[in-house]
Amino acid sequence: MPHVREGALHRLFHPRSVAFYGASSDPRKIGGRPLDFIKSTHFDGALYPINPQYQEVQGLKAYPTAEAIEGPVDMAIVAVPAPHVLAALEDCARKKVGGAVVLSAGFAEVGGQGLEWQRQITELARRTGMRVVGPNCMGSINVRRGLLGTFTPSAAGFGLVPGRISLVSQSGAFGGYCLSLIRQRGIGLNLWVTTGNQSDVDFADCVRFYADDEETDVIVGYVEAVTDKQRLVEALTLARERGKRIVMMKVGSSEAGAHAAASHTASLAGSDQVYDGLFRQYGVYRARTIDELFDVAYACSLARKPPQGNRLGLLTVSGGVGALMADAAADHGMDVAPMPDEAQRRLKAIVPFAGPRNPVDMTAQLVNDVTLFEKNFNIMLEEGGYDIVVAFLSSVGQVPALSDELLQQLKKVLARFADRTIIISMLATPEVRKLYEAAGVMVFDEPTRAVRAASALVRFARESARAEAADAPPPLPAGALPAPTKALNEVEAKTVLASAGIPVVREVLAATEDAAAKAAAQLGYPVALKIASVDIPHKSEVGGVLLALADETQLREGWRTLMKRVAERAPGARLDGAVVAPMVKRGVETIIGVNRDPVFGPVVMFGLGGVFVEAFKDVAFRVAPIGVAQARAMIDEVRGRVLLTGLRGQPPADEIALAEAIARVSVFAARNAEHIDSIDINPFVVLPAGEGGVALDALIVPRHH
């Protein structure tokens, strides 16, 4: 009954009535705090303390059970000791409460009986359809309603302003810190929840709920470990369809960080690089610092139409800061295109000593002639055609009269250029900042952070466009072979991959020297000769590969050499003979791989060959299957991509064929997810544009059940 359960979550986040289990008269106690907090806000729903020992708690009539309450109860906050939580939840369920937030600790995180209690909570939620957040969580908040269903000290005194950002955190402490930060920065917030032990409602549920929430434009997530790939992917997909922006923090990219995150959550986290790939795949912006998390979320919450492109105009009152912003823009891949010559002449006529190129430097002249602001904006947007303009105004925001004058001009500019994005960087008083934000203008103290926000908006716009363009994984060809259930030799592996539409080198498995000579004559010299044995997955380690054999004499000599080496170096190996393959002409060597992630299943990997993968870990990941557009995005992500663009007078490589091969490998891996442990195509040689690519060697490791 998914619909009922969704409706239940709605009642939990938007309750008209709240019951407080374990409500205490002492507002310092965890049981007393939510009631104390909520009484200080504008929450206008009914409040029902539940405590059989008292007639009244904090001035409100207390009830022995929820069943004793006359009206309906949408939400319950449970702060009784762990042994009594289940009874409270059963009481809730009988009362047909929508959802309960269990603040109490002492469950899975302590093991033993706690584990069993938590299992029972899960079972109750599944059985009754009542949703349960927690246990061992910090609770939830609905800012517009004034609902503070939490005991975090960060919520004391409320102090939150409504906005279009909703936050979900797997960590209570992290969620509490973010709440304090949001208050300090005056960022608008809508919903806030921490998921604790996730006995029922988990991270993916919350993302999904926010995706459907009309007051939410931006979802901020803090995730430590995902347990159900499918539901997370569905939630991310829905959010993207609904046009929501997701900004996520995921810790554990370093060894020490991963260790800390794992011991902290006691659950299996997938590889950090796989999360990275997943986020890119679903258009999620991954922030690396808390500043970045909220800068980007703030920008998204105030952004107007998505920018059409990445042309960035920079307007400044300081030439130095203009150059600084240009440097930052280049680091973020933005296009700081110069103004057209004629427009530069016009700008120069307005401020003679100004830099008119881009950055456009108004100099301190702005203070003497405030109309410069609108004039410059108009010329930049009209003639420069920038998708985004970041304007640096130093500390103008500390001078209310001047700020207001500029804001009036800005409003005219915004009305005239409705499809452009404008970002202001200045030091401002909280009051000035609020006025700008009310007009839909975001304000950043620090100019490089304003530029980073601009680039994030461009990235979201690009990801949306990518998502809208149909990027279905290519179909598996009709005659595709199934994945092997036992170890394969190289030729067999390539035959399977070829059947799945991946181009492989033409080659022949020869059982005898004569058969090899015959095959070589057919393929045409020069050829390569490679030992074929399921017991020798890494052929070059036993000297099992000979290249560029020029004629029959060399081929026959080579055959004998190989057989002798194998007899000496791998005496027990089962031998299928040797593979004869034509020498492939020079292209760019790449690696396409598949690994099985414990959480996300088959994951496709791409990198340049040679030292790039090994030494620089310069690789991109995606959760299989993917379409060709995602595969191209993977290629774009690796630094070594420059090798495919045609260095040293080489022709550019066939990136289209490469992307197709990556996508097809991902489709094959996803279809055979249960049977494949890993695939390693190394090298996949990418030929010049139009000539395709070819897998020279391949290894498929089946999954042992």
Cα–Cα dist 130/96, whole Å: 7
From candidates 81, 112, 113, 254, binder to its own copies by CB under 8 A:
254
Binding string, residues 144-163; x marks residues near its own copies by CB under 8 A: ---------xx---------
- The residue range among 352-360, 662-670, 672-680, 692-700 that interacts with its own copies, by the rule CB under 8 A, is 352-360
- The residue range among 77-85, 212-220, 359-367, 628-636 that interacts with its own copies, by the rule CB under 8 A, is 359-367
Q: Specify the residue, 213 or 276, whose C-beta has the smaller distance to its own copies.
A: 276
- The residue range among 1-9, 15-23, 179-187, 507-515 that interacts with its own copies, by the rule CB under 8 A, is 179-187
Q: Specify the residue, 397 or 602, whose C-beta has the smaller distance to its own copies.
A: 397
Report if residue 28 touches its own copies, rule: CB under 8 A: no
Residues 106, 78 contacting (CB under 8 angstroms): no
Report if residue 547 touches its own copies, rule: CB under 8 A: no
Name residue 10's amino acid. Answer: H
How far apart are CB 344 and its own copies at their closest, in Å?
A: 11
Q: Tokens 């979900």 correspond to what residue? A: 168
Q: Which residue from 149, 138, 96, 93 is spatially nearest to 120, judged by alpha carbons?
A: 93
The count of other CB atoms within 10 Å of the CB of residue 681 is 25
Structure tokens at 661: 């091969």
Q: Specify the residue, 271 or 363, whose C-beta has the smaller distance to its own copies.
A: 363
From candidates 115, 181, 521, 629, binder to its own copies by CB under 8 A:
181
Q: Specify the residue, 99 or 544, whose C-beta has the smaller distance to its own copies.
A: 544
Cα–Cα dist 592/663, whole Å: 10
From candidates 65, 122, 129, 177, binder to its own copies by CB under 8 A:
177
DSSP 433-460: HHHHHHTT-EEESSHHHHHHHHHHHHHH
- The residue range among 55-63, 119-127, 327-335, 563-571 that interacts with its own copies, by the rule CB under 8 A, is 327-335
From candidates 24, 104, 170, 666, binder to its own copies by CB under 8 A:
170
DSSP 646-700: --TTPPPB-HHHHHHHHHHHHHHHHHTTTTEEEEEEEEEEE-BTTS-EEE--EEE
Judged by CB under 8 A, the chain residues 194 through 253 that form the site for its own copies are 222, 224, 249, 251-253
* 354-380 per-residue burial string, b: 16 or more CB within 10 A, e: under 16: bbbbbbbbbbebbeeebebbbbbbebb
Judged by CB under 8 A, the chain residues 443 through 502 that form the site for its own copies are 445-449
From candidates 103, 143, 296, 326, binder to its own copies by CB under 8 A:
326
Name residue 509's amino acid. Answer: L
Binding string, residues 67-106; x marks residues near its own copies by CB under 8 A: ----------------------------------------
Q: Which residue from 287, 316, 397 is spatially nearest to 324, judged by alpha carbons?
A: 316
From candidates 83, 338, 440, 524, binder to its own copies by CB under 8 A:
338
Q: Specify the residue, 8 or 226, whose C-beta has the smaller distance to its own copies.
A: 226
Q: Specify the residue, 323 or 656, whose C-beta has the smaller distance to its own copies.
A: 323
> In a 10 Å sphere around its CB, with 0-12 CB exposed, 13-18 middle and 19+ buried, how is residue 626 labelled?
buried
Judged by CB under 8 A, the chain residues 564 through 623 that form the site for its own copies are 611, 614-616
Helix (H) or strand (E) holding 346: helix 341-350
Residues 584, 526 contacting (CB under 8 angstroms): no
Binding string, residues 367-406; x marks residues near its own copies by CB under 8 A: x--------------------------xx--xx-------
Structure tokens at 458: 């461009």
From candidates 77, 88, 261, 391, binder to its own copies by CB under 8 A:
261
Judged by CB under 8 A, the chain residues 264 through 323 that form the site for its own copies are 264-265, 288-291, 317-323
Q: Helix 447-468 and helix 628-637: axis angle, to 10°?
A: 150
Residues 218, 164 contacting (CB under 8 angstroms): yes
How far apart are CB 154 and its own copies at their closest, in Å?
A: 6
From candidates 4, 87, 173, 472, binder to its own copies by CB under 8 A:
173
Cα–Cα dist 308/418, whole Å: 12
Residues 95, 64 contacting (CB under 8 angstroms): no
CA-based radius of gyration for the chain:
31
How far apart are CB 614 and its own copies at their closest, in Å?
A: 6
Q: Specify the residue, 334 or 491, whose C-beta has the smaller distance to its own copies.
A: 334
User: How many CA atoms lie less than 13 Å away from 558 in the CB half-sphere?
Assistant: 27
Q: Specify the residue, 511 or 642, whose C-beta has the smaller distance to its own copies.
A: 642
How far apart are CB 322 and its own copies at their closest, in Å?
A: 5
Residues touching its own copies: how many (CB under 8 A)? Answer: 81
Structure tokens at 311: 């042309």
Binding string, residues 647-666; x marks residues near its own copies by CB under 8 A: xx------------------
Residues 651, 690 contacting (CB under 8 angstroms): no
How far apart are CB 74 and its own copies at their closest, in Å?
A: 28
Give, in order, the Cα–Cα distances in Å from 68 to each of 5, 51, 403: 24, 11, 57
From candidates 16, 39, 90, 109, binder to its own copies by CB under 8 A:
109
Q: Specify the residue, 210 or 612, whose C-beta has the smaller distance to its own copies.
A: 612
